[in-house]
A and B are shown apart, each in its own frame.
Chain A
Amino acid sequence: MAALLEVRGLCKTFGALAVNQSVDLTVEANQIHALIGPNGAGKTTFLAQLAGDIRPDAGTILFDGTDITGLPAHRRAHLGIARSYQVARLFPDSTVHDNVALAVQACSRWARSVGRAAAGIGELNEPVAALLERVELAHRSRIPAGILAHGERRKLELAMALASRPRLLLLDEPLAGMGVEESQATVALLDRLRRDAAILLVEHDVQAVFALADRMSVLVFGKVLASGDPPTVRRNPEVQRAYLATSGEVPPC
């Protein structure tokens, strides 16, 4: 069976800085693939290229067998790719509910969304409520998104990403800024999501990564050092050295 996402030789430089150097990566359907690496390794840049926010200099991105390298972001979203951002990008003056509504209605054709105007925005209420329930934000739905706590913003990002019922979720540090309980709940949610979607998970929380990942890749200085099932990658001496050299973190054993 062909992989859901297949990236070949992706390259991106900013000026003299080679942020992604011929990155190969494969994500299978209904698997969680963790992408880890020290700060500045190029993880966010990699996700941005998959989502269509940044054009790669070279390489191809295949999604479900089709080449999407040149597609604009909105077309990729229609194909079933959704992302959340490392720095939450919400509409701060709109309520939590309206933020999700915006995401829900994106999946309907625009002409229809005008036509349905008379029926009103109320029609979106049900799916929006269901999404907020799923990320445990229902009680905050009438609050402007701008005043949410850090962890809550993350959850809202997640709800917005889920609105399109994506087949591939690109999550950039979804657990950052969450408390222990919030974090556990989100890990459980991501675990369940595996049934509906594949997830490419960029995350620094090592415990979460090892709890969730079916496969993992390590990105260091824009290159994939190792890729495979988590226990193997963890034992890889190069990975251990890279972690010690760049961040001083001891790799989790």
Chain B
Amino acid sequence: MIPRRLVVIGLIFAVLAAVPLYGADYYTGLATKIMIFGLAALGLDALVGIGGMISFGHAAFFGIGAYVAGLFGKSGIDEGLIVWPTAIAVAALFGAVIGSLSLRTRGAAFIMITLAFAQMLFFIAASLPALGTSDGIGLPHRNSLAGHSLGRAVDFHYVVLLLLAGALALTDFLARTPFGRAVDGIRQNEPRMGALGYNPTIYQLACFIFGAAVTGLAGALVANLSLFAAPDNLHWMTSGTLLVIVILGGVGSLFGSVLGAAVLIVLEEVLAEVTDHWMMILGPVLIAVVLFGGNGLAGFLLRRPHGRTS
């Protein structure tokens, strides 16, 4: 029998793949946005859910990816095969620096220091003329892929879908390798793993860099979606949004990030029509999920009759 988890993931991707077939461009764009934020949150879930590192500054890497795309766009380079790997590499590099400094601390101090780094980058982006100050950087048009234009919303949608599927499969795979299991063990009991001979910091740093890289790719994609890299991409509110998506979707579930992004973005879209204070409605929803949902939407979907998740 196919594991329930795979069935759920299959269904999610089937729905995402079907949107352009049945929906107008508006809905395709919405679904693309869901996938991009799902990808960004996937990177954060690798940190939080597997590595046990609660970062409140993960938007730093989202923004870095977006600005890489923006700077390339400004200089006339629009080949995705150049832009996206560069965004991944630059985000990973920043991840290595920020991660190695932040991992000198744990717990609440770690949350604060990651927040501080992200806010520092925010203020740099918002004040540097080369980065467009608070206006950000506009992209003249979307990146192409191996010379093929992604100007049509549908084409871009499917490319994002493939990238998301690839990132999810890779993260899932890594989590099951000896390396992933070690990171998971360190989350559960760090001193114990130290006594077994693991250097906790090295493993956590590798996990941090991986999460930064995944979210960096999402940043390059979001800049392509909105044709814009803005300081907002780096703002702590965006970090908070990513955390909310992870919690809504189910911490450590990985694929739940896509579900969390879907709920958040659809809610935002629907409620923003009705009221400016849609966050006031989201708040109680989030509390309900945390209190009653077990482990977010993923936990709900994978729940067994006797309450254990697989």
Q: Hey, which bits of chain A sit against chain B, CB under 8 A?
A: 51-53, 72-75, 77-78, 82-83, 85, 89, 91, 98, 101-103, 105-108, 110, 113-114, 116-117, 120-121, 124, 160, 163-164
Check if A113 sits within 8 Å of B182, measured CB to CB.
Answer: yes
Determine the chain B residues whose CB is within 8 A of the CB of A163 once the complex forms.
196
User: Closest 7 interchain pairs by CB?
Assistant: A117-B177, A77-B197, A73-B194, A106-B197, A113-B178, A106-B196, A114-B179
Say yes or no: is B292 at the interface (Cβ < 8 Å to chain A): no
Tally of A-B Cβ pairs under 8 angstroms: 84
Say yes or no: is B191 at the interface (Cβ < 8 Å to chain A): yes
Check if B191 sits within 8 Å of A113, measured CB to CB.
Answer: no
Distance in Å: Cβ of A197 to nearest Cβ of chain B:
15
Determine the chain B residues whose CB is within 8 A of the CB of A91 once the complex forms.
185, 188-189, 192
A72 — nearest CB in chain B belongs to which residue?
A: B194
Known: A102-B185, A114-B177, A117-B173. A53 touches B197 (CB 8 A): no
C-alpha gap A98/B184 in the complex (Å): 12
Check if A110 sits within 8 Å of B202, measured CB to CB.
Answer: yes
Check if A164 sits within 8 Å of B196, measured CB to CB.
Answer: yes
Check if B177 sits within 8 Å of A73, measured CB to CB.
Answer: no
Check if A77 sits within 8 Å of B177, measured CB to CB.
Answer: no
A103 — nearest CB in chain B belongs to which residue?
A: B196
Check if A74 sits within 8 Å of B191, measured CB to CB.
Answer: no
Q: Hey, which bits of chain B sit against chain A, CB under 8 A?
A: 173-174, 176-179, 181-182, 185, 188-189, 191-200, 202-203, 206
Given A77-B195, A116-B178: 7 more A-B contacts, CB < 8 Å? A52-B194, A73-B195, A77-B197, A110-B182, A110-B202, A114-B179, A121-B177
Check if A74 sits within 8 Å of B200, measured CB to CB.
Answer: yes
Check if B195 sits within 8 Å of A98, measured CB to CB.
Answer: no
Determine the chain B residues whose CB is within 8 A of the CB of A105 once the complex forms.
178, 181-182
Distance in Å: Cβ of A119 to nearest Cβ of chain B:
10
C-alpha gap A77/B196 in the complex (Å): 6
A78 — nearest CB in chain B belongs to which residue?
A: B197
Known: A91-B189, A110-B203. A83 touches B178 (CB 8 A): no
Check if B179 sits within 8 Å of A117, measured CB to CB.
Answer: yes
C-alpha gap A56/B246 in the complex (Å): 41
C-alpha gap A105/B200 in the complex (Å): 14
Known: A73-B191, A91-B188. A113 touches B197 (CB 8 A): no
Instruction: Indicate which residue in B178, B191, B194 contacts A117 across the interface (CB closer than 8 Å).
Output: B178
A93 — nearest CB in chain B belongs to which residue?
A: B188
Check if B189 sits within 8 Å of A89, measured CB to CB.
Answer: yes
C-alpha gap A85/B194 in the complex (Å): 13
C-alpha gap A114/B188 in the complex (Å): 20
C-alpha gap A102/B178 in the complex (Å): 8
Instruction: Indicate which residue in B173, B181, B191, B198 contacts A98 across the interface (CB closer than 8 Å).
Output: B181
Determine the chain B residues whose CB is within 8 A of the CB of A108 once the complex forms.
178
B177 — nearest CB in chain A belongs to which residue?
A: A117
Determine the chain B residues whose CB is within 8 A of the CB of A101 once the complex forms.
178, 181
C-alpha gap A106/B182 in the complex (Å): 8
Check if A53 sits within 8 Å of B191, measured CB to CB.
Answer: yes
Distance in Å: Cβ of B195 to nearest Cβ of chain A:
5
Determine the chain B residues whose CB is within 8 A of the CB of A74 once the complex forms.
194-200
C-alpha gap A18/B119 in the complex (Å): 45
Determine the chain A residues whose CB is within 8 A of the CB of B206 once the complex forms.
110
C-alpha gap A102/B193 in the complex (Å): 9
User: Can you list 20 pairs linking A and B with CB atoms under 8 Å apart?
Assistant: A51-B195, A72-B194, A73-B195, A74-B196, A77-B197, A82-B195, A91-B188, A101-B181, A102-B196, A103-B196, A106-B196, A106-B197, A107-B197, A108-B178, A110-B203, A113-B177, A113-B179, A114-B174, A117-B174, A160-B196
Check if B174 sits within 8 Å of A77, measured CB to CB.
Answer: no
Distance in Å: Cβ of A81 to nearest Cβ of chain B:
9
